Amino acid sequence: MQQSYIVDSANAPWKRSATEGITFACQVLLSGEDGGPEALRFRFDDCPSVYAHMHLTCQFQLLLKGAMDFPRGVKHLESLAIHYTDHNMPYGPFAVSGSHDMLVLHPRAGGIISMANLDARRKINLSGRLFAALAADAQWQPLPGVDNAAYIHLMPPGYGPAAVVTRTPAHAALSMPAAEFGRYEVVLEGSVIVGGQEIGPPGFRYVRGDQAAEPLVTGDNGASVAFLTFDRDALEGGITGEGLSVEAAEAMARAI
C-alpha cells in the first residue's frame, strides 16, 4: 500500500499550549488519527528543563531554529540538527532556548508519556537507539547526477534510520528509493513542487510503500530538503489501546 501525505506548514494554524508547566506554540500537521503518520511542530518558550519523557513510536526531531541542551549524553544541539529515538526510548530533561522551532515526526501516533510515570519506566526499550547530530558537523559532498548539488549524511550510512540533507539548484528532480517503513521529506529552504503544489519550508511530504514515490522537483530558487527515513522500528509500539498507550495518547491530546 502506497501512502503519501503532502503538508504545507505555512497554512496550518498555531495553538498556544502547555504540558506539565512547559509552555509552547504548536501546529498539528498530521494527526495520525487515520493510522498514518503523526507530525507536529513545536516552538517551546525558553525553558531550562523540559521534563524527561518518551514516545511510543520512533521519532525524528528536526531542530529548525534555536538550541536544545541535554545535560547528559547528547549535549548541545543547534539548528540545523537531528535527534532520533526508537520507540519507548526516553530522553531529557533538556533545555530549550534561542527561539526554538522544531518538527516532531512519527510514523504513526506516538503519544507522550512522562518518565515520572513508574509504569512507563518498566516499558523502556533498553535496546533502543538514540542518535543526535548537527548539520554543521557534517561534510557536504557533491550529489551524483545533479550539477551544483550537494548532500550531507546526518546519520551514518547503515545506521538503520537515515537522515540526509540535500542542497539542489532550481528545477532538479530528487528521486529517492521506495520507503518501506516511511520517510519524511522536509523542505528546509527554497521550495519543491510535488503533487501539483509548491511547498516551502518547513512543508513536507511523507511517503511509505514498496514503490518509489514521484520525485520532488525543486522550485525556481532551488531547495534544501531533509530526507528522514525510518527503519523497521517504525513497526514497533504505537497507540495500541492498552493501559500505558491510552495514557500516552491522552497526554498528547491534552498537550496539543
Contacting positions for another protein (CB under 8 A): 48-49, 51-52, 69, 71-73, 93, 95, 115, 118, 121-122, 124, 126
Q: Kindly state the smallest distance separating residue 133's Cβ from another protein, in Å.
A: 18
Instruction: Assess contact for 238 and 45: CB atoms under 8 A.
Output: no
How crowded is residue 189: how many other Cβ atoms within 10 Å of its Cβ?
15
The C-alpha cell at 191 is: 521550495
Residue 162, H or E segment: strand 162-168
Contact 83, 77 (CB under 8 A): yes
214: its cell numbers? 514521484
> For another protein, which is the closer residue by CB, 22 or 193?
22
Q: Output the smallest distance, CB 185 to another protein, in A.
A: 33
Distance in Å, CB of 71 to another protein, minimum = 4
| Shortest CB 109 distance to another protein, Å | 25
- Provide Rg for the chain, Cα atoms: 17
The residues facing 148 across adjacent strands are none
Beta carbon nearer to another protein, 4 or 49: 49
Burial 205-219 (b: 16+ CB within 10 A, else e): bbbbeeeebeebbbb
Closest distance of CB 122 from another protein, Å: 5
What DSSP string runs through 149-206?
A: -EEEESS-TTSSSEEEEEEE-TT-EE-----TT-EEEEEEEEEEEETTEEE-TT-EEE
Looking at beta carbons only, is 8 or 69 nearer to another protein?
69
Q: Which is nearer to another protein, 69 or 236 (CB)?
A: 69
Instruction: Work out how close the CB of 48 gets to another protein at its nearest, in angstroms, rounded to a whole number.
Output: 5
Q: Which is nearer to another protein, 125 or 166 (CB)?
A: 125
Please say which residue, 129 or 146, places its beta carbon nearer to another protein: 129
Helices (H), 2-80: none
